[in-house]
Chain A
Amino acid sequence: MKRPALLGGLAVLVVALFVASLMVGKAVVPLSAWWSGDWRWAIIAELRLPRAALATLLGASLGLSGAVMQGWLRNPLADPGVLGTSGAAALGAVAAIVLGGATQWGIFGAAMACAAGGLALLAALTWHAETPAAFVLAGTVLASLAAALTAFLISIAPNPYVVAAAIDWLMGALTDRGVDDLTHAAPFMLAGCALLLATGRSLDALTLGPDAARSLGISLPRLQALVIVGAGLCVGAGVAVTGVVGFVGLVVPHMLRPLAGARPGALLVPAALGGAALVLAADIVCRLAPGAGEVRLGVAMALIGAPYFLVLLLGERGRSWG
């Protein structure tokens, strides 16, 4: 597909889903409330607008992180989760809930602090590492450690209500996220996205192999730093306001690679747009579920992502993952 057509189509899709996201919810807001000074306008302005903006940013940063990780590790199974940052941020949030700091700022601050700590630990573990494999290994260990500590914190929760709150939060949701959540997370996500978008040319060169990339004047340590800090900021801030939402970074690059072509650099912007569209769509579905509550976004993403990936793997049987 021609690149302008692909980008234009995806942008139109994101805008359409963004508008749809403002229309959907548990309350009925008549169209007339949009301009007549009806109090129900506040539902749009203070609940649905920040939520749709957050869904767009979250999806874009996760889709972009996934495309960059897959390009950098040259492995189509890579996911931003392999850095361990999302696990570390989740640990921070659960610590705030269990140890009594479950306010909006408390959860966000603790999650960001732990995500930063996780990144620092990752950097220390892989100082002077030659291959990305060292990062994957260190990230996996970090994720396991964070998961174990999270489980430990849940096990020492003072009462069952706290356990329920922690587990509910871990499932990930955009429910009731307001302007405050958006202003907390957006600077980190935007900064992360800016760093990741700067990796395009280096990732293209890397497809020729590390030696060829070096001979083309690409600084691999700089690329490494951009990828890790960029993805860390995106994923950390995402987990800090929404809880754990997986599969976006894994699935979106796969969906778009046939349309955008095999060059990793060409996939970055489409993956960001595609991620935004996917999360917006999934969040709309979450709100359409019947009953008093909503389906959790993390659960919905896993229900969409895992079967898609299974089908993909079935289709690729017999082909080796290079």
Chain B
Amino acid sequence: MRLLLPLLLLLVGCAPAGGQQRGGIVSLNPCSDQLLLALVPPDRIAAISHYSQQAGATSMPLELARRLRSTGGTAEEVIALAPDLVVATSYTPPATRAAFARAGLRTLYLDAPVTIAESKAQVAEVAQAVGAAKQGAAINARIDRAVAEARWTGAGVPALLYISGDLANGGGTLLHEMMQVAGLRNAAADYGLAMTGALPVETILAHPPAMILRPDADGRTAAIRRRLLARTDAGTREIAFPRSLINCGGPTIPAALERLAAVRRQVAP
């Protein structure tokens, strides 16, 4: 018992220092983090999500993300920051939403867009909410330009895109539409995969794609897949595709389209 008081005092010492800046925008999702950063100056962002500070999940430069304050997404952390606006996702737990509502916070819940049009609508919505409509329109104009530049009307090149390890990108996703625009035919969608999922190597061997795009070189089944694909006469090429272009839409779309089009040009110039 005698140890308890010093221990408690120690814990109090661990709590974040008070007297911090209030107001600003708190974002609880790596995709809204990168969108906000493209819309407003960093000093208007009170906190970003902890995911943006991790290499596997971020869509912004890591050194920039690590300079910003981050939260783990709990209501307590957010309410303590007393932000003007909380940008979260439709996956936010109901209890956390209720806590935000009780604290009287202004909130904006975003869903995960699965088409370029939906992503542009989301950019406009967030831009409107943070009073940066002009910047939002500029991002959407960049997306339109990127779509026009990447557009390919020739026969689609069959390509399989992995989003992580053995997880492949199927139909009905934003990446699926971006692949189509850039002239890549989504092989996983042809196999019958909707959204994301694992594909047996046999499924791939039955109809090998012209190329495999992947962020990680060493998924669990990568070795056996490569060995067996090399035996076929399909000549499937494996090409690295950065993880930072996979996670989000919005401001990431132009760079992702540019990379997808560059990949397609390697096969169909």
Contacts and interface: CB of A to CB of B under 8 A. Distances in A.
B56 A161 contact: yes
Contacts of B224: 46-47, 176, 178
Contact of A42 (B191, B197, B231): B231
Nearest to B164: A161
B198 A168 contact: yes
Contact of A294 (B165, B196, B200, B219): B200
A214 interface: no
Contacts of A26: 200, 202-203, 206
Nearest to A27: B206
Contact of A159 (B54, B193, B219, B231): B54
A47 B231 contact: no
Contacts of B191: 292
B128 interface: no
A167 to B, nearest CB: 11
A313 to B, nearest CB: 34
B163 interface: yes
Contacts of A103: 218, 220
Chain B contact surface mostly? mixed
Given A28-B206, A107-B220, A158-B54, A292 B163 contact: no
A47 B225 CA distance: 10
B175 interface: no
A195 B228 CA distance: 37
A125 interface: no
B199 interface: yes
Contact of B57 (A39, A104, A107, A159): A159
A103 B217 CA distance: 11
A212 interface: no
A25 B56 contact: no
Contacts of A162: 56, 164
B51 interface: yes
A27 B202 contact: yes
Interface in B213-262: 218-221, 223-225, 227-228, 231-233
B56 A159 contact: yes
A50 B164 CA distance: 26
Contacts of A175: 198, 200
Contacts of B158: none
B167 A292 contact: no
Contacts of B223: 104
Given A26-B202, A102-B220, A161-B164, A46 B192 contact: no
Contacts of B203: 26-27, 292-293
Nearest to B193: A292
A103 B57 CA distance: 20
Contacts of B167: 161, 164-165
A26 B51 CA distance: 37
B205 interface: yes
A43 interface: yes
B166 interface: yes
Given A27-B202, A39-B231, A176-B224, A161 B163 contact: yes
A107 B206 CA distance: 28
A46 B200 CA distance: 13
Nearest to A175: B200
Contacts of A291: 192-193
B200 A165 contact: no
Contacts of A107: 220
A193 B66 CA distance: 53
B132 to A, nearest CB: 28
Interface in B164-194: 164-167, 170, 188, 191-193
B202 A46 contact: no
Interface string A172-195: 000110100000000000000000
A158 B191 CA distance: 30
Contacts of B193: 291-293
6 contacts: A104-B223, A161-B165, A176-B220, A287-B200, A292-B191, A294-B200
Shortest Cβ-Cβ A-B pairs, 4 listed:
A161-B164, A159-B57, A27-B206, A292-B193
Interface of A: 25-28, 39-40, 42-43, 46-47, 102-104, 107, 158-162, 164-165, 168, 175-176, 178, 287, 290-294
Given A26-B202, A159-B164, A165-B165, 19 more contacts: A26-B203, A40-B205, A43-B205, A47-B202, A103-B218, A158-B57, A160-B57, A161-B163, A162-B56, A164-B167, A164-B196, A165-B164, A168-B198, A175-B198, A176-B201, A176-B221, A290-B192, A292-B191, A292-B203
